[in-house]
Amino acid sequence: MIKDKDFNKMVNDIQKKIEHYEETDFSKKVIDEYRNPNNFYAIENPDVTGEIKGPCGDTMKIMLNVENDIVVDIGFLTDGCCTSIACGSMLTKMVQGKTLKEVSIITSEKLNDALDGLPENHVHCTVLAVNTLKKALNKFDRR
């Protein structure tokens, strides 16, 4: 039978290995954003919501409140990977307090730059986040 002490050491070793791989593969900004995400919450009765399920099967939802053409509150939810959390966090920070015109020119490339670049196999997470934002904004335009 495995002892508590051995089990805890095994868990700690696995945790350290995971953190080592994260730090090897991802920028410091990506790690900071997903370990301490900003705006990772649901807004009750938002002005507009966008929700998309990406080709990877992960879902992103972005909710916004806008007053006088300025984003006054934004939240996101995702059931996706750590990178999608980092993308939602950084994107919502880029949007908060901006005018709708300023928000409309945010691209997945700009989000990728803001995160100091994602590994190639995770760049699609930026596309999912920005497309979800655009879906929400399109609804706002049509109101």
Binding region for ligand FES (CB under 6 A): 54, 56, 58, 80-81, 83-84, 125, 128
CB of 31 vs ligand FES, minimal distance in Å: 15
- Minimal CB distance to ligand FES: which residue? 56
CB atoms within 10 A of CB 97: 13
* Nearer to ligand FES among residue 50 and residue 80 (C-beta): 80
Name the minimum Å distance from CB 92 to ligand FES: 15
| Helix (H) or strand (E) run with residue 100 in it | helix 100-104
Which sign does the torsion angle of CA 106, 41, 54, 85 carry?
positive
Closer CB to ligand FES, residue 39 or residue 84? 84
- 13: tokens are 């070793």
Q: Which amino acid is at 54?
A: G
Smallest gap, in angstroms, from Cβ of residue 80 to ligand FES?
4
The answer to whether the CB of 59 falls within 8 A of the CB of 3 is no
